[in-house]
A and B are shown apart, each in its own frame.
Chain A
Amino acid sequence: MRIVCPHCGERPVDEFVPYGAAGLKRPDASASTSDWLDYVYLRDNKAGMHGELFYHVGGCRAWLIVTRDTRTHAIAEVVAARDQRDAAR
């Protein structure tokens, strides 16, 4: 598998550290334990398009959100996590 880092270009997957589902919302300090349990432990684990975090440890050190079909490994989009948060603001 190869991932196109928005900063570095296309690189082999072993330059990245995969880190599971992207887009989980960290509960705020006042949230209940059960919200925290959901956040830390429960996953949709979808078969299909799925946003996943990858850390470009061998390159620019950016955390990326890679949108990829977990059945075919086809990658639809890669954005830097930081940029995505900025855009959402």
Chain B
Amino acid sequence: MRYSVFSLLAQALNGQKGWKPAWRDASPKDEYDVVIVGGGGHGLATAHYLAKEHGITNVAVLEKSTIGSGNVGRNTTIIRSNYLLPGNTPFYEWSLKLWEGLEQDINYNAMVSQRGVLNLYHSDAQRDAFARRGNAMRLNGVDAELLDRAAVRKLVPYLDYDNARFPVHGGLLQRRGGTVRHDAVAWGYARAADQRGVDICQNCEVTNIRVENGRVIGVDTTKGFVRAKKIGLAAAGNSSRVAAMAGLRLPIESHVLQAFVSEGVKPLIDTVVTFGAGHFYINQSDKGGLVFGGDLDGYNSYAQRGALPHVEHLLEEGMALMPMLGRLRVLRSWGGIMDMSMDGSPIIGTTPIDGLYLNAGWCYGGFKATPASGWCFAHTIARGEPHVLNAPYRLNRFDTGHLIDEKGAGATPNLH
């Protein structure tokens, strides 16, 4: 059922009795043209664009748990395209454009909120590095402003300007950046894909990928064997495990990243702010909770939880940046497992196995990429070759040295 003023009013009068499931709880059929492994944001968006842009609707999304139970449902919701390197900026900008039209595209309000993303700098060197990035963005047609201290102070008056160990010198602002309601992205894409005929199969874990003569033929799942002409892997934190089913080793480690939400308070923080002398960042959700996060715990993990010392470190940074946070309380903390790739950038492309496509290595930046990732992955699967936007993200870039290493951290995934 389409969401419209009419359907809403009708249901309001009808005691909300007429709504149907947002998507069918499908059981897998015997065979599909495309099977997507992973019902996170990327998998669902891929299915949507396969159907919408390429007319491929005989598609299943196989999800081991429920839709959105992975990172799409546990990230800090920041979207932006303030990237530096040529491989990244156009891709993330395309993603931002897709966000900007998303609710009309999928008839679902994911509450895209372009409240601005402000990266603070604390030294001249950092300012210059941000200028380099801002200029790269502008060359890509992306909005970017370099603010001095006074301008930052006007925008976010509640930072520590007087007594900071690492004083705020200014910031790089992308006004079109912001946040999106994370769960709604999964649900909205699921509903849109479902309406175009895609089967969304929950509690259906892929346990094996069958390959014959160098070509995929299907997947074994907890609900039986499913034949597939093409298989797209979009299993986020579990990419290595899933790829291993097809005998692939990936340039990826899985790491836990913690996130936090405070008790809800009246509007207080109007932009997304990131601390440049550490790894703290914060924004306020539409419900009033301050949502914040920081750096990885740093060790390999598939458990969705972190350690107490890292919580302390992070909140030291929070207090260093915003001493007004002291009396507000952490309401909940959680963790998510991320594919940390060896250069900090994602992989979307073909693999050495025919019919097997890979979407992985999103580190902690893949939520903002959801629309473009789905869009490019759909293109790659449909055409058998990458779109220009995701060509730089090919798996063999490590062999050739065409790294996309924004931070310059090298092959140490937990530093990206």
A and B held together in a complex: yes
- Residues of chain A having any CB pair with chain B under 8 Å: 1, 12-14, 17-21, 34, 37-38, 40-47, 50, 52, 54, 68, 70-73
6 closest A-B pairs by CB: A45-B240, A14-B309, A41-B251, A18-B299, A1-B307, A18-B298
Residue from A14, A42, A50, A54 in contact with B250 in the complex, judged by beta carbons closer than 8 Å: A42
CA–CA, A15 and B309, complex, Å: 9
Asked if B303 contacts A43 (CB within 8 A), the reply is: no
Which residues of the partner chain B approach A72 to less than 8 Å between Cβ atoms? Answer: 303
Could you tell me if B300 and A13 are in contact, using CB atoms closer than 8 angstroms? no
A13 touching B411 by the CB < 8 A rule? no
Q: A19-B414, A40-B411, A50-B300 are in contact. List 18 more A-B contacts (CB 8 A).
A: A1-B299, A1-B307, A12-B308, A13-B310, A14-B313, A20-B412, A21-B253, A34-B399, A40-B342, A44-B244, A45-B240, A45-B250, A45-B254, A45-B300, A47-B241, A47-B254, A52-B299, A70-B300
List the A residue with the shortest CB-CB distance to B296. Answer: A18
Give Cα A72–Cα B238 distance, bound, in whole angstroms: 15
Q: Are B411 and A52 in contact (CB under 8 A)?
A: no
Q: Which residue of B lies closest to A12 (CB)?
A: B309
Chain B contacts for A1, CB-based, 8 A = 297, 299, 307
- Report the bound CA distance from A44 to B253 in whole Å: 8
Assuming the contacts A13-B307, A19-B412, A20-B412, asked whether A43 and B251 have C-beta atoms less than 8 A apart, the reply is yes
B400 to chain A, nearest CB (A): 10
Establish whether residues A43 and B240, one from each chain, have CB atoms under 8 Å apart when the complex forms: yes
Residues of A within 8 A of B412 (CB): 19-20
CB of A18 within 8 A of CB of B342, answer no
The answer on a CB contact under 8 Å between B414 and A47 is no
Cβ–Cβ < 8 Å partners of A34 in chain B:
399
Q: Which residue of A lies closest to B243 (CB)?
A: A45
Q: Point out the residue from A19, A40, A44 that lies within 8 Å of B240, measured CB to CB.
A: A44
Q: Min CB distance, B256 to chain A, in Å?
A: 9
Alpha-carbon distance A68/B411, docked complex (angstroms): 22
Residues of B within 8 A of A47 (CB): 238, 241, 254, 302
5 A–B contacts from the bound complex (CB under 8 Å):
A42-B249, A42-B250, A43-B251, A54-B299, A70-B303
Task: Report if A20-B300 is in contact (Cβ < 8 Å); known contacts: A41-B251, A43-B250.
Answer: yes
| Bound: A13/B298 CA distance, A | 10
Closest Cβ–Cβ distance, residue A69 to chain B (whole Å): 9
Task: Pick the contact of B249: A17, A44, A68 (CB < 8 A).
Answer: A44
Q: Are B240 and A70 in contact (CB under 8 A)?
A: no
Closest Cβ of chain B: how far from A80's Cβ, in Å? 18
Known A12-B309, A14-B310; judge A20-B253 contact (CB<8 A): yes
Asked whether, in the complex, the Cβ of B253 is within 8 Å of the Cβ of A45, the reply is yes
- Closest CB-CB distance, B298 to chain A, in whole Å? 4
Whether B123 sits at the interface, judged by CB under 8 Å, is no
Query: Shortest distance in angstroms between B154's beta carbon and chain A's nearest beta carbon?
Result: 36
B413 neighbours in A (Cβ, 8 Å): 20
CB of B347, distance to nearest CB on chain A (Å):
11
Which residues of A have CB within 8 Å of B310? 13-14
Contacts of A73 in B (CB 8 A): 301, 303
The CA-CA distance from A42 to B252 in the complex, in Å, is 7
Is A70 a contact of B254 with CB atoms below 8 Å?
Answer: yes
- What's the Cα separation between A1 and B308 when bound, in Å? 7
Q: Are A43 and B241 in contact (CB under 8 A)?
A: no
Which residues from chain B contact A19 at a C-beta distance below 8 Å? 412, 414
CA distance A41 to B396 in the complex (A): 11
**B 307-323 contacts with A by CB, 8 A:** 307-310, 313
Mask, B217-254, CB within 8 Å of A = 1, is 00000000000000000000010110010000111111
Q: Is the CB of A41 within 8 A of B298?
A: no
B252-A45 in contact (CB<8A): yes
Assess whether B398 is interfacial by the CB under 8 Å rule. yes
